[in-house]
Amino acid sequence: MHGGVEVTDMMDLDEDTQVEEEMLDVHNEIGDQGEEMLDVHNDMVWWKL
């Protein structure tokens, strides 16, 4: 391997892409809520500093 991806690896990825995209959609929804919580958390941390 020279930093590249073999063709067989790419084909395997294609098969899994649909499932991964669905998981990403769910992850992004959770991520949006997580970011809002992080903003609140960061505000509290800065206030303590």
pTM of the model: 0.25
> What are phi and psi for residue 9, nearest 5 degrees?
-65, -40
Residue 15 has pLDDT above 50, yes or no: yes
Residue 7 has pLDDT above 60, yes or no: no
* Total residues belonging to the chain: 49
pLDDT for residue 1? 47
- Buried b / exposed e across 5-29, counting CB within 10 Å, b at 16+? eeeeeeeeeeeeeeeeeeeeeeeee
Taking the C-alpha atoms of residue 49 and residue 45, their distance in angstroms, rounded to an integer, is: 6
- Residue 17 identity (one-letter amino acid): T
- Residues of the chain with pLDDT > 90, as a percent, come to 0
